[in-house]
Amino acid sequence: MAPLMLFVWPVVALILFAALGREKGLIWTVVAGYLLLPDGFGYELSGLPDYDKRSAVALSAVLGAMLFWGKSSWPVPTFGAGLTKRSRMLMRNAQNAAKIQEIWCELLNLESVAPEDDFFELGGSGKEARKMLRAVSEALRLPLITTAELRSASVLADFTRLVERKSEAEIRAIERASRTGGLGKFFLLLFLAICVGQVMTVQDNGFPLINGDRFRTALGIRDAIAYISDSVIDFTPFFLAWFWLRTPEHHKELLRAIVIFGVIYAFLALVEMRLSPQLNRWVYGYFPHEWQQHVRGGAFRPVVFLRHGLWLAFFLLTASVAAFGLYRMTTSQLRYAYLAAGLWILAVLLISPNLGAALLAILFIPALLFLSRKLLARGMMLVAMIFLLYPAARQAEMVPLDRFLGVIERISVDRAASLEFRFRNEDALLARALEKPVWGWGGWGRSRVIDDRGRDTSTVDGLWILTLGATGWVGYIAFFGVLTLPLLMLPKAVRRKEMSYATAAMAVILAANLVYLLPNSALSPIGWLLAGAIGGFVSWRPDLTAPIAEVIDDDHAKPRYTRFDTAQPVPEVRIPSRDTTPSRTPTPSYRRSRKAKG
């Protein structure tokens, strides 16, 4: 069954791409492939990377991308098709003028306002002026106009032209700050640094290591090719997601796929907690890891179809955060289904013997539920910065490990002992890595600690120490730079465009994954897909010259103004000419008799 699934999956992926389009096809190919294909099973190919779950998912995604490059999963907006950027800007200005008239009429209790009317002569006070300026700023997504500017342009026609100048200046500033080429080039430069670093690692380790009767081979050109090939496989979901999964609609679909599988996986995890981890053996005929590691005090740690119980625990955490993120962004009755799904998955995670993922759930899920999107962006950026500096802090002995172990010991003595063993082991591995701090030791166990008798005394669990020991600081910064750069740039992106709660939930998942990588190595294709999608959002520049439209999160949601959705219908407005003298004839939508105020 396992060989059949591996070799059939590219065909399944092509069917998904053909039926769903490129974006949804990519999402379901990666998510379903990671969760359904057999782990710990593959074929060694001479001169090529092993064909296993990772390479099958990456190959399937690349084939689908090549064959269905031009087939989008969402209809391309046709509003303003064939118009120049200046024409679209004029249409936006006309809509802004209509919105300003509407705000003035509502605030001054009038049925109509003419272009030559003065705000203060119509009865507007200083308090009403401040209310009007705040309403215009929120409705048109502009910086707040001051009352001094209003007094110099209190006539409706003059105020409209002032808003036009502010709008065009704001758009130019945002466009200058949101160039996509720089960030994309930076991603590519970091990936190039990884490849160059791996070549230099091989060049710097062209000698064998002998400890007692333990022989560790020298590195050669074939090792460099293998290392680069592995990096290409790992980064394929990231770059495809960065290129395609950029908008809130894409992120919402990605979270939906994760939640659907999370609900199913939570049920299967309950089955394995009751009957022992047998699903992989029943379906594929083998167990992917050591059995002893999945029996905790008489309780079973579920695995389902993943590599290890720790990987399953983090996927349950991912699915629960995704469900709560959808709950926050949805306003219809469907939000309660997402809430129920999140509580169900979280409950299964909490009763499973996975303390690390449970603690992360207790820490990150309340942050997602109660913090604003701007605070979430800043908080997740802080987590990414701490993660990048963690090896340097460990080297400088600035991490309070003893205090942390004391807290864990109050919860579980066995877990505290396990963590202490990992920390002491990491200290030895860190000392070994610092013997070659620039390029690292490479593969074949060269970064592991071997005593004089040839015994391997090290256990590598955390991905950070494995990467630092194998590739040095150059490889560590380049590898995790690609993974953390989307979070580091997220607060800046949120300042210039709106971030949905789907994107915020993805940022929370990625930040939690970084913390989880300190004691473990559970970085999956789904993690790379989420990082690429966040990077795509950071790089994404919507069409700011298109008229502001109303977007609906789902079929029954309340509409709100946003820059995101240019596919929604826009009210018909007349484009006023700048060259003509303002006339008393208002915009057609507001051609009503004026009612005396009072």
User: Rounded distance, CA 467 to CA 526, Å?
Assistant: 19
Q: Are 316 and 266 in contact (CB under 8 A)?
A: yes
- Specify the pLDDT at position 467: 92
pLDDT, tens only, 318-352: 999 999 999 999 888 899 999 999 999 999 999 98
Q: Residues with Cβ < 8 Å from 65, sequence gap 6 or more?
A: 17, 22, 26, 240
Q: Six-digit token pair at 216?
A: 């560790």
**pTM summary value:** 0.77
pLDDT, tens only, 404-455: 888 878 877 877 887 788 888 888 889 898 899 999 999 888 988 888 777 8
User: Rounded distance, CA 426 to CA 127, Å?
Assistant: 63
- Specify the pLDDT at position 360: 94
DSSP state of 546: S
- Indicate the burial class of 225 (C-beta count within 10 angstroms; 0-12, 13-18, 19 or more): middle
Higher-pLDDT residue of 395 and 322 is 322
Grade residue 85 by pLDDT with cuts at 50, 70 and 90: low
Q: Six-digit token pair at 124?
A: 């507007």
| Residues facing 551 on adjacent strands | 560
- Specify the pLDDT at position 175: 57
Start-to-end CA distance of the chain, whole Å, equals 81
- Specify the pLDDT at position 369: 94
User: Rounded distance, CA 251 to CA 568, Å?
Assistant: 19
- Specify the pLDDT at position 339: 96
Give me the torsion for CA of 25, 28, 31, 35, rounded to 10°.
-130
Q: Which of 334, 330, 318, 342 is nearest to 258 (CA)?
A: 318
Question: In degrees rounded to 5, what are phi and psi of residue 21?
Answer: 95, 175
Higher-pLDDT residue of 175 and 161 is 161
Q: Which of 302, 196, 356, 306 is nearest to 527 (CA)?
A: 306
User: Rounded distance, CA 53 to CA 50, Å?
Assistant: 9
- Specify the pLDDT at position 171: 67
**Domains of the chain, first to last:** 1-73 (no CATH), 85-177+543-590 (1.10.1200.10), 179-244+371-540 (no CATH), 258-354 (no CATH)
- Specify the pLDDT at position 542: 59
pLDDT, tens only, 226-282: 889 999 999 999 999 998 998 889 999 999 999 999 999 999 999 998 888 889 889
The per-residue DSSP string of 349-408 comes to HHHSS-HHHHHHHHHHHHHHHHS-HHHHHHHHHHHHHHHHHHHHHHHTT-S-HHHHHHHH
The distance from CA 130 to its chain's CA centroid, rounded to whole angstroms, is: 38
> Any idea which of 265-269, 366-370, 393-397, 581-585 has the lowest mean pLDDT?
581-585
